Structure 1
């Protein structure tokens, strides 16, 4: 994300998790961390908790030597929405590393494990040396260090592996380690390959921590790409052309502001197999970069490729992946290629679905580039320390000069691809148009307040109002949102000064801010910056804000949306369920002690409930809906926020294996219930909440002759507004 996005969810004190296994679009209980030294000999990590309902945050402290404090402060799974659990459940990855380590480390030596996590690779290395030699496990994130020590203790490895709670570039020979290491084992790779700091980590290690010509596992990584045509991928970034046919008359990227609102020019991790039917390959796979771990890499590299088109079409994107060669001889591989790619680039063949490594998508600017079969096109690929970029010479300017002399870089708002697609979606915009037209009808000189971070609604209300007076709060966008809305209003020929941006917290507002007027319309999409990766009900912040603003609302004030409906359905989801299972033995090492902290869902002890997790369900591997969609409960925004609960009987429509339930919120925009914005699993621009079962259940319709099918289930939900939590329980009978 660009710098205007809040960084409240990024662990900023460590280098090797920027892909994050602790994710940046995550649940509010997930934490920002800053490391500091305490007054004693121990170390402390300050963790930032974000309350999604209020936008407030508080700092709490984890002490290195205080396990009781650690447990009490984080009763909920601390790392539940990270990819650590999924990674440890990746048996293909684990087996490849184990085989390569056993093949590479054949005698006692000094092994350095960078980004050690739970210590799995360190234990493999120690076992390969028969418990002799020296293993140094370097891990910078304190909660993970605490978890690693538990794993080592359970496996009798505590005295055989030296654990250092530092970044690798903070290690010093003679102070932290006695000598340079003979072997480097590491897994500091993200879906793009470089995003976890692979290059600077290897540079520092070769300069300061490793012997000359060290052995390494992995040995080499190679990135590959393919040119593709895909309308879906185009819709995820080209807002100007997608909004061109909208009926509302608003242009979020009008002439003169062509690039001021859009997605960042970068690679985006995406599981591409589900959209294989919507992807037309326009080239053969091609090799891009090769990185040899046994040598010091360069910070910058470029490859100029001449690619021949294999089909007529329009190049909308470059899909890329990497192949990991784990041993020097080239017999052990791991690939992140999509399933339609075959040898030689996908040397391992299709692997099981996983969440920690996906393919990457680079969007070609604008409408893409037209190409004919047999035609050649130049692709320039470059890399720096942390990312890979492409240039297809699309002749799209990277910086536009606005009419009033500013460049787009001065005020550019960066959207997620899904948010850009929503703003360009004609059906979504038509729904908003109908609702706003309805609420404005007969209202005349009304004061409208936009409570969230929407940049579309203020412009739409101003366009449709006879005497527009709009106050926009922009709790996340703030100053950049102000600059954008002022320029966009002018470019859309709206009345001057019709949109006022306050930039205050809701609790700080007074009637002075509304010029002693009551608010007649309180509206939202709802959309809050930084909530893209969270659970659907965390946008109930709108309800909290509406409650706080009650004293400045007029008696007949209209609220949009008028209510939210929590909906759900039963689902067959084997890949995701497998990736979130409780761990036991991994290549012979007991990992059962990590299950609680990592938020395991499958194979839980009886009566235990796993966490509800945010996912794009369509990105979760194989899935099938097994029941009717059913309503669980409603949130009535005409009233102050309150406790809610609901219980629903599940009506199964298919016989199959149920792995859990998908939950989402449908936003009812108007009082007549005529306009509903759904965020369900058939909508690919919103994440849903997934509640996985401890044990899969065979289910089927009541009239089914399959006597083994469990035909009766109840789902119950309880919403606590004080904590902003939604508790989901299931009962199969």
Structure 2
């Protein structure tokens, strides 16, 4: 976000280095936000401007520079920005605006500084807010500033904020944090009962409602108020009585905030509320999302007309809700997971809740294991390697191995089993997934002892051995009967969904020496699909910017994702990488039928440098094209067919999905209705690059 003080930018694009500063362009294009701040600057009393001002988490410097430009009587603004790259951008912007002598920039967190009482600031400008208001350590940062950097009677912009909320029913939202109904926890009570960490999650409520994935159960209701000039205690709890307007199951509380920019304001002028609820001016560019708190299981069924008693809590960093009658005794702490469930991201938990997909994968695994057993009642030399992070494909393989040929009646065959090599190897690339794998297998009744001959009522008498490995396995040539995967690699989270497939292909290729001639690959192939997209808001907020509200901020353009990506040095094909985006949370429309951009058989050799794919034409038949969206479909077997990572709804929109699409936006808009695409995979950076041009021949 524009004024986030943290140097590490989280969020959906955190895994993609070139996207690290994309949020700053979102904020700089947000006229409603800048209008709210500039309106407050204009109304500041002159007495406040006779003292020092401070900009905490200054980002590109837009707020401090706007303040100095609008109120030239102000002598100096001290700005803090912990990211040294952004601090240099702020300094460059100050020079461009002729304000360098009046803007003092410190490339560190404000919490690392303290001022003498006579040198303290009278005005604090700090937009260090996230969707849940407090997630950027807003209160902790302001409390330190109040104690160490500001005068006693300081002014803050924004001056205060109110938190409002509504209750919703949404099975989809519950999967962001818990796994109580997931297929893989049916016999793992420790995970099934775990309610996960109660940290808020981001969601675009109106898009969720439009997709039919949530129902409102209440009107908007008031939850909390924060005065940034008289800070509350670090821990508070407040009782609420909420009227239910629609019957359903109370799954979650979605909440948002309204900011009053200047002391004494009666009307909020900055908000992240859904537009249908908003009391403030409508946002021209809708990049803000809301926060959601998942309520713990069991979630109550409520009836229209009923009054539900809630308690809302907050610390310096989090806000959460619970259904309960009384306030807690003593300060409340954010509820935490009781198992390693918290090691899995919300998108990963959501992905693992897709029971239909994993049922298809189980069918494909059954088919694969049966094919390996043809011609022999039992393969004592069978070895299966799971390349996905997390033990979930290993679970499917374990069940198939138990079901087909791992419970022989012959004593001789049982003896051979005890002497056989470990048939199932679950590879993990990080400690987090290794912990999840070991804990989850230990919870499962059939897996709690991973040695042949283990017996338990209701379990398999002879279970295959499973080895969980961190890093690369020691395999002998032609020893592996099957390589499988979902595919999923933690390092590819936050990237376009096809990144998982390119990564998996590279892993398969690295183990090719160990594959038997008859080895099975699961999945076997994948393809990328592409459509033309109309997405004006997304296109606009991703553009480079010269000025905002009269302030030259062009120094930030050096951080634009297109510039940071650079150009793959491929003569004649200056392809562009796509950026990751969950399009279901963005206003968009699909303008064309899908076409296959490329298709890969995983049995093929991984390219040494570049692999080109044939060009394709995308045609919409109507103007208004802003970009191209891509997603993957994966082939496991004939029983599964092509499994897509996202589906298109009847309204020509992408449906909610935990997987991110790859998006390529036009650099210059045109009236053309078609786009010619050529794509090539670069082994150097492990991603697909796209060269596009309008049907008229002009660059896209």
1:474 match: 428
Structure 2 CA distance, aligned partners of 1:110 and 1:117?
Answer: 19
Structure 2 CA distance, aligned partners of 1:178 and 1:611?
Answer: 52
2:250 match: 315
Aligned residues of 2:197 and 2:342 also touching (Cα < 8 A): no
| Residue 384 (str. 1) matches residue 315 (str. 2) | yes
Structure 1 CA distance, aligned partners of 2:460 and 2:281?
Answer: 56
Displacement of 1:29 after TM fit? 4.8
| Residue 656 (str. 1) matches residue 619 (str. 2) | no
Q: Which of 340, 356, 361 pairs up with 2:292?
A: 361
Q: Which of 514, 518, 521 pairs up with 1:552?
A: 514
Q: 1:1-51: CA deviations, max 9, x gaps?
A: xxxxxxxxx9xxx98338x6x225436552xxxxxxxxxxxxxxxxxxxxx
Structure 1 CA distance, aligned partners of 2:100 and 2:462?
Answer: 68
Displacement of 1:223 after TM fit? 0.8
1:694 match: 667
Q: Secondary structure at the match of 1:631?
A: strand
Q: Which of 88, 91, 109 pairs up with 1:149?
A: 91
Counterparts of 1:535-684 in structure 2, within 5 Å, are 535-539=496-500, 540-599=502-561, 611-621=577-587, 623-642=588-607, 643-670=610-637, 674-679=641-646, 681-682=654-655, 684=657
Gap regions ≥5 residues in structure 1: 1-9, 31-76, 244-250, 396-406, 699-709
Deviates more, 1:428-437 or 1:417-426: 417-426
Q: 1:657-693: CA deviations, max 9, x gaps?
A: 0000001221121378834343454452211011111
Aligned residues of 2:311 and 2:325 also touching (Cα < 8 A): no
Return closer, same or farther for 1:410/1:79 CA change in 2, 3 Å cut-off.
Answer: closer
Return closer, same or farther for 1:140/1:494 CA change in 2, 3 Å cut-off.
Answer: farther
Q: Secondary structure at the match of 2:439?
A: helix
| Residue 490 (str. 1) matches residue 425 (str. 2) | no
Return closer, same or farther for 1:128/1:651 CA change in 2, 3 Å cut-off.
Answer: closer
Q: 1:186-208: CA deviations, max 9, x gaps?
A: 11001111111111111111111
2:236 match: 301
Count of matched residue pairs = 626
Structure 1 CA distance, aligned partners of 2:498 and 2:348?
Answer: 17
Structure 2 CA distance, aligned partners of 1:29 and 1:232?
Answer: 26
2:24 match: 84
Structure 1 CA distance, aligned partners of 2:578 and 2:591?
Answer: 19
TM-score, with length taken from structure 2: 0.83
Structure 1 CA distance, aligned partners of 2:268 and 2:642?
Answer: 55
Displacement of 1:124 after TM fit? 1.7
Displacement of 1:555 after TM fit? 1.5
Structure 2 CA distance, aligned partners of 1:620 and 1:528?
Answer: 25
Q: 1:666-723: CA deviations, max 9, x gaps?
A: 112137883434345445221101111112233xxxxxxxxxxx24421111111122
Q: Secondary structure at the match of 2:189?
A: coil
Q: Which of 336, 339, 346 pairs up with 1:417?
A: 346
Q: Which of 5, 23, 29 pairs up with 2:10?
A: 23
Aligned residues of 1:200 and 1:385 also touching (Cα < 8 A): yes
Structure 1 CA distance, aligned partners of 2:493 and 2:442?
Answer: 25
Aligned residues of 1:599 and 1:610 also touching (Cα < 8 A): no
Return closer, same or farther for 1:660/1:666 CA change in 2, 3 Å cut-off.
Answer: same
Structure 1 CA distance, aligned partners of 2:560 and 2:503?
Answer: 26
Structure 1 CA distance, aligned partners of 2:504 and 2:30?
Answer: 39
Counterparts of 1:168-567 in structure 2, within 5 Å, are 168-174=110-116, 179-237=119-177, 239-241=179-181, 243=183, 251-254=184-187, 256-259=189-192, 264-277=197-210, 278=212, 279-330=214-265, 331=267, 333-341=269-277, 346-355=278-287, 357-366=288-297, 368-393=299-324, 409-412=338-341, 414-444=343-373, 445=379, 446-465=382-401, 466-467=404-405, 469-476=423-430, 477-488=433-444, 489-490=446-447, 493=459, 498-506=464-472, 509-511=473-475, 518-539=479-500, 540-567=502-529
Displacement of 1:410 after TM fit? 4.9
Aligned residues of 1:646 and 1:716 also touching (Cα < 8 A): yes
Displacement of 1:646 after TM fit? 1.9
Q: 1:490-540: CA deviations, max 9, x gaps?
A: 37935676352342323xx2237xxx8711110000011243311223212
Deviates more, 1:545-554 or 1:97-106: 97-106
Aligned residues of 2:387 and 2:483 also touching (Cα < 8 A): yes
Displacement of 1:654 after TM fit? 4.2
Aligned residues of 1:227 and 1:281 also touching (Cα < 8 A): yes
Structure 1 CA distance, aligned partners of 2:45 and 2:515?
Answer: 70
Return closer, same or farther for 1:84/1:295 CA change in 2, 3 Å cut-off.
Answer: same
TM-score, with length taken from structure 1: 0.80
1:52 match: none
Structure 2 CA distance, aligned partners of 1:518 and 1:209?
Answer: 66
Structure 2 CA distance, aligned partners of 1:610 and 1:108?
Answer: 50
Displacement of 1:546 after TM fit? 0.8
Displacement of 1:591 after TM fit? 1.7
Displacement of 1:236 after TM fit? 4.4
Q: 1:371-396: CA deviations, max 9, x gaps?
A: 1122221111111111112111499x
2:77 match: 135
Structure 2 CA distance, aligned partners of 1:323 and 1:182?
Answer: 24
Return closer, same or farther for 1:105/1:145 CA change in 2, 3 Å cut-off.
Answer: farther
Displacement of 1:641 after TM fit? 1.2
Return closer, same or farther for 1:236/1:723 CA change in 2, 3 Å cut-off.
Answer: closer
Structure 1 CA distance, aligned partners of 2:357 and 2:85?
Answer: 42
Aligned residues of 1:272 and 1:359 also touching (Cα < 8 A): yes
Structure 1 CA distance, aligned partners of 2:37 and 2:577?
Answer: 30
Aligned residues of 1:666 and 1:677 also touching (Cα < 8 A): yes
Structure 1 CA distance, aligned partners of 2:531 and 2:302?
Answer: 43
Q: Which structure's CA Rg is the greater one?
A: 2
Q: Secondary structure at the match of 1:503?
A: strand
1:57 match: none
- CA RMSD in angstroms, aligned pairs only: 2.9
Displacement of 1:611 after TM fit? 4.9
Displacement of 1:352 after TM fit? 3.1
Aligned residues of 1:627 and 1:650 also touching (Cα < 8 A): no
Aligned residues of 1:229 and 1:317 also touching (Cα < 8 A): yes
Displacement of 1:286 after TM fit? 1.6
Return closer, same or farther for 1:600/1:160 CA change in 2, 3 Å cut-off.
Answer: farther
